[in-house]
């Protein structure tokens, strides 16, 4: 209905403007007098009226659809102006005159441009300004456009009567509408146009009054609904002008700020007047930016109530614009967040309290842990002292027995009438005592993890298979020995001699635990272990020695790794076997643990880390009984003996001379180097102690000799050297461990001389 109504009004406007324009044109034509008869063609006259109405309607349609845009106004003005000009010249063509019409082209173009320009200007005014004054101005401009175009077009005409034409029209050959008839028709059409305009105006006025009434009612209803929504809203809503003065406030807002609506709206109070001073700067900055840029903002701030209390609010503020985009006012939606802020503050306080409690508890736990660590350290120190006392007593006891054998033997050897057999028996006892002392020393070093290891990459499976004969010979025929090895055992890096000694030690312990016979099982498997306090995570070869003996009670199992602890009968063990194996395992990067249950036997698990690099040759040779190489005679070679102990040096010289060597002596490494530098005779080999006073020890001497005197063979002897225990034996240098036998000294010299390549000739 609205669309049809709009079309009807547009048609009425086109009829009024087009018909009015046509009426003005023909009224103007009636005022134009020629000295010859004038009539009008009815068809062209009607066509001129139709063109005026239709083209005007098209112009209105374009303006209604595109009038807000420049090209829409231009197109509408072009249509209406062209329609007016077309109507005019069709009306001229409708004149039936016995004369020839001539037109001034310049004035014709000028008349068309006047029509188009004036029509465009009038349309622009009606679209741009809607007040009555501007509409009247637009009507005047349109009237001027029509009349200006008409009279400019009339000025462009020139009539040239035909020959023989008379003023009374007696010889006129055409018939048309006469001037009188045309005048009556124009008057009738003008009256009709005016009547239609009056009816349309009256109807439009009535509709405008009705629409205004309806608009006022709708506005009142909308305002009532708006106020109801505002009042029923659960949040505070307020409106202010651009200066911050309140123009609206609902009940909730009044309750939040603690003021009545009359106080807010009637006293000129501003929003900034009730804002907390500490929040005023931030609030004003955001408010001014919103007014200047027209952008909404949100802020949390405090309002001050009349009683001095503070209320925290969240204000969401949005500007209100007019049709021109200017900011007229701002609307604030306010939420009371005082409770939330209080809860947040309480939560922050509780968090701070909890953090303080955690800090205090952590400090207490740290103090407790430190006290426990100190207590544990005290216990460990006490245990160490107890173990040291036990170790000292046991060592003193065992070495006392050995020294007693040596002392007694030396006393007996002084007897002048001792038989040769008795002397041989005494010497054998002395030799056994020395060997026992050496074994005890090695066990002590293994327990302390200070023994000198010679690690090699070895095949554990082949090594264990090679030990089978030795194990059967050592353990006797009363035991059954079983083995269980992985086919693809990983290689390990360890001292092969110490590994064999450890396996033999564990096997002997297992045998001693099976007093009624049984089965000894030796297993070797690849395992991947997690990290513990005793080892790092990684890949290991696990060697397990399992027996079917009586097992170990828990109170004894906890002590089996203590040095000199043994449950065997006196004389059957030193109590250092398991300690030695445990020390060797730890020194090799592995570990050892024991599982045992009374009545079910014992299993010792011995872990050695996998050798990740197998570039070195894997040693697969089985353990062999100690070879006794033939004594290498010195054959006139000279050995420089370096030792700060004169007794040890004297015995070393005696042994070397018995082997056929010529000996020379030096009391320190510095003296030995000086003798070699002076070239005091030839020196084929240097036999030096490791631990010596004077700043340079035997290892440093060997390093200098290998660099400055490469043809001199070097053999080192040591009872214990922390440096060798830590770094291993020096490459290219033979090392003997005290006490050593004559054959061991001979073999070491033989290997050293073979490696050096020959004697050093004395200079000069």
- Annotate 378-440 with DSSP letters as a single string: HHHHHHHHHHHHHHHHHHHHHHHHHHHHHHHHHHHHT-TT--HHHHHHHHHHHHHHHHHHHHH
Domain residues of the chain, as ranges?
A: 2-167+174-204, 234-336, 346-447, 450-609, 638-756
pLDDT tens string 11-66: 666 666 666 677 666 666 666 667 777 777 778 877 877 877 777 777 667 766 66
Q: How many angstroms separate the CA atoms of 140 and 25, rounded? A: 16
pLDDT category, 621, cuts 50, 70, 90? very low
Of all residues in the chain, the percent with pLDDT exceeding 90 is 10
Per the model's pLDDT, the better-predicted residue between 217 and 381 turns out to be 217
Cα 611 to Cα 493, 541, 615, distances in angstroms: 5, 10, 10
Contact (CB, 8 A) for 149 and 120: no
> Residue 661's pLDDT is what?
92
Beta-strand runs (E) in 80-161? 95-96, 99-103, 157-161
Three-state secondary structure of 520-580 = EEEEEEEEEECCCCCCCCEEEEEEEEEECCCCCCHHHHCCCCCCCCCCCCCCCCCCCHHHH
Is residue 624 over pLDDT 50?
no
DSSP structural state of residue 635: T
> Residue 619's pLDDT is what?
46
Where are the alpha helices (H) located in 129-233, listed in sequence order?
132-155, 179-232
Cα 157 to Cα 103, 151, 309, 320, 628, distances in angstroms: 5, 10, 91, 61, 154
The helix/strand/coil state of 248 is strand
Q: How many angstroms separate the CA atoms of 478 and 149, rounded? A: 145
Q: Which of 175-184, 546-555, 595-604, 633-642 bottoms out in mean pLDDT, i.e. has the lowest? A: 175-184
pLDDT category, 603, cuts 50, 70, 90? very high
Per the model's pLDDT, the better-predicted residue between 576 and 547 turns out to be 547
Q: How many angstroms separate the CA atoms of 450 and 433, rounded? A: 23
pLDDT tens string 448-507: 544 556 678 888 888 888 887 777 777 777 788 888 999 899 999 888 878 888 888 888
Helix, strand, coil shares of the chain, percent, nearest 5, are 55, 20, 25
The CB density around residue 76, as the number of other CB atoms within 10 Å, is 26
Q: Which of 342, 294, 339, 287 is nearest to 315 (CA)?
A: 287
Contact (CB, 8 A) for 691 and 697: yes
> Residue 641's pLDDT is what?
94
Is residue 540 over pLDDT 50?
yes
pLDDT category, 634, cuts 50, 70, 90? low
Q: What is the CATH number of domain 638-756?
A: 3.40.50.2300
Q: Which of 115, 122, 121 is nearest to 146 (CA)?
A: 115
Per the model's pLDDT, the better-predicted residue between 77 and 375 turns out to be 375
Contact (CB, 8 A) for 601 and 465: no
Q: What does the block give as tokens for 168?
A: 């009374």
Q: Which of 28-32, 525-529, 587-591 bottoms out in mean pLDDT, i.e. has the lowest? A: 28-32
The helix/strand/coil state of 57 is helix
Per the model's pLDDT, the better-predicted residue between 114 and 507 turns out to be 507
Contact (CB, 8 A) for 227 and 249: no
Mean residue pLDDT across the chain: 77
β-bridge partners, 298:
316
Is residue 616 over pLDDT 50?
no
DSSP structural state of residue 299: E
Predicted structure pTM score: 0.36
Beta-strand runs (E) in 322-383? 327-336
pLDDT tens string 422-440: 778 888 877 777 766 766 6
pLDDT category, 171, cuts 50, 70, 90? very low
pLDDT category, 313, cuts 50, 70, 90? very high
Number of H helices, E strands in the chain: 21, 21
Q: What does the block give as tokens for 528?
A: 């991947």
Q: Which residue has the tokens 């570990």?
A: 591
DSSP secondary structure string, 21-33?
HHHHHHHHHHT--
Mean pLDDT within 532-551: 87
Output the CA angle 4-9-12, nearest 5 degrees.
Answer: 125
pLDDT tens string 352-379: 989 999 988 888 898 888 888 888 778 7
Per the model's pLDDT, the better-predicted residue between 276 and 391 turns out to be 276
pLDDT category, 164, cuts 50, 70, 90? low
Mode of pairing for the β-strands spanning 518-529 and 591-596: unpaired
DSSP structural state of residue 711: T
Sequence-distant (6+) residues with CB within 8 A of 640 are: 663, 664, 665, 666, 672, 675, 676, 683, 685, 686, 687
Q: What does the block give as tokens for 627?
A: 């070879």
Mean pLDDT within 723-734: 66
Question: What backbone phi and psi angles, to 5 degrees, belong to 175?
Answer: -125, 135
pLDDT tens string 508-524: 888 888 888 889 899 99
Q: Which of 317, 308, 315, 318 is nearest to 337 (CA)?
A: 315
Mean pLDDT within 145-160: 74
Is residue 544 over pLDDT 80?
yes
Q: Which of 130-144, 305-319, 561-575 bottoms out in mean pLDDT, i.e. has the lowest? A: 561-575
Sequence-distant (6+) residues with CB within 8 A of 469 are: 622
Is residue 206 over pLDDT 60?
yes
Statement: 450-609 belongs to CATH 3.40.50.300: no
Of all residues in the chain, the percent with pLDDT exceeding 70 is 71
How many residues does this entry show for the chain? Answer: 764
> Residue 640's pLDDT is what?
93
The CB density around residue 531, as the number of other CB atoms within 10 Å, is 9
pLDDT category, 387, cuts 50, 70, 90? low
Per the model's pLDDT, the better-predicted residue between 175 and 120 turns out to be 120
At the topology level, CATH places domain 234-336 in Beta-Lactamase (3.30.450)
Q: At what angle do helices 132-155 and 70-93 cross, to 10 degrees?
A: 40
């Amino acid at each position: 209905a609205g669309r049809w109504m709009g079309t009807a009004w547009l048609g009425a406007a086109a009829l009024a403007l087009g018909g009015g324009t046509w009426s003005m044109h023909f009224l103007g034509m009636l005022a134009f007098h020629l000295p010859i008869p004038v009539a009008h063609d009815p068809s062209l006259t009607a066509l001129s009226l139709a063109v005026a109405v239709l083209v005007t309607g098209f112009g209105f349609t374009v303006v209604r659809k595109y009038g807000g845009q420049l090209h829409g106004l231009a197109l509408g003005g072009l249509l209406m102006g062209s329609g007016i000009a077309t109507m005019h010249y069709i009306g001229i063509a409708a004149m039936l005159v016995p004369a020839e019409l001539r037109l001034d082209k310049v004035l014709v173009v000028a008349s068309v441009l006047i029509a188009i320009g004036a029509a465009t200007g009038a349309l622009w005014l009606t679209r741009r300004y809607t007040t009555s004054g501007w509409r009247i101005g637009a009507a005047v401009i349109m009237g001027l456009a029509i009349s200006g175009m008409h009279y400019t077009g009339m000025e462009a005409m020139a009539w040239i009567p035909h020959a023989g034409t008379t003023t009374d029209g007696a010889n006129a050959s055409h018939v048309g509408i006469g001037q009188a008839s045309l005048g009556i028709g124009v008057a009738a059409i003008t009256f009709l146009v005016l009547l239609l305009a009056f009816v349309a105006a009256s109807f439009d006025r009535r509709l405008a009054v009705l629409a205004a009434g309806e608009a006022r009612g709708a506005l009142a209803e909308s305002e009532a609904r708006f106020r109801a929504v505002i009042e029923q809203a659960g949040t505070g809503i307020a409106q202010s002008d651009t200066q911050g003065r309140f123009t609206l406030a609902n009940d909730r807002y009044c309750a939040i700020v603690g003021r009545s609506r009359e106080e807010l709206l009637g006293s000129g109070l501003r929003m900034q007047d009730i804002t907390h001073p500490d929040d005023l700067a931030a609030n004003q900055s955001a408010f001014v930016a919103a007014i200047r840029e027209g952008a909404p903002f949100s802020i949390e701030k405090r309002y001050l109530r009349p009683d001095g209390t503070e209320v925290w609010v969240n204000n969401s503020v949005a500007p209100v614009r007019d049709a021109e985009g200017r900011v007229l006012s701002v609307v604030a939606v306010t939420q009371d967040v005082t409770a939330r802020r209080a809860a947040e503050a309480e939560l922050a306080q509780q968090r701070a309290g909890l953090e303080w409690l955690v800090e205090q508890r952590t400090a207490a736990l740290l103090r407790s842990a430190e006290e426990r660590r100190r207590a544990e350290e005290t216990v460990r120190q006490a245990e160490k002292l107890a173990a040291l006392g036990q170790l000292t007593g046991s060592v003193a006891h065992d070495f006392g027995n050995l020294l007693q054998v040596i002392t007694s033997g030396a006393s007996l050897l002084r007897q002048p009438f001792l038989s040769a057999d008795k002397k041989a028996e005494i010497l054998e006892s002395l030799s056994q005592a020395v060997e026992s002392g050496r074994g005890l020393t090695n066990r002590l070093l293994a327990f302390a993890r200070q023994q000198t290891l010679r690690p090699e990459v070895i095949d554990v499976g082949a090594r264990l298979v090679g030990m089978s004969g030795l194990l059967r010979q050592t353990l006797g025929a009363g035991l059954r020995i079983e083995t269980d090895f992985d086919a693809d055992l990983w290689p390990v890096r360890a001292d092969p001699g110490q590994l064999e000694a450890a396996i033999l030690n564990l096997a002997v312990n297992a045998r001693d635990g099976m007093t009624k016979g049984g089965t000894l099982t030796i297993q070797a498997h690849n395992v991947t272990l997690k990290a513990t306090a005793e080892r790092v995570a990684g890949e290991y070869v696990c060697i397990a020695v399992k027996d079917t003996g009586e097992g170990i009670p828990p109170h004894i199992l906890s002590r089996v790794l203590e040095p000199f602890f043994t449950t065997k009968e006196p004389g059957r063990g030193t109590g250092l076997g398991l300690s030695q194996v445990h020390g060797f395992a730890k020194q090799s990067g592995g570990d050892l643990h024991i599982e045992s249950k009374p009545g079910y036997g014992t299993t010792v698990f011995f872990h050695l880390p996998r050798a990740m690099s197998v570039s070195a040759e894997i040693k697969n040779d089985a353990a062999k009984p100690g070879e006794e190489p033939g004594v290498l005679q010195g054959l006139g070679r000279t050995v420089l003996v370096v030792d700060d102990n004169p007794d040890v040096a004297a015995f070393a010289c005696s042994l070397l001379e018995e082997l056929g060597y010529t000996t020379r002596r030096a009391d320190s490494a510095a003296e030995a180097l000086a003798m070699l530098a002076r070239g005091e005779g030839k020196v084929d080999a240097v036999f030096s102690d490791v631990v010596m006073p004077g700043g340079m020890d035997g290892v440093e001497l060997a390093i200098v000799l290998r660099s400055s005197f490469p043809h001199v063979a070097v053999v080192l002897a040591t009872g214990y050297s922390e440096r060798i225990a830590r770094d291993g034996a020096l490459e290219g240098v033979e090392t003997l461990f005290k006490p050593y036998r004559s054959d061991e000294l001979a073999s070491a010299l033989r290997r050293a001389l073979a490696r050096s390549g020959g004697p050093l000739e004395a200079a000069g």
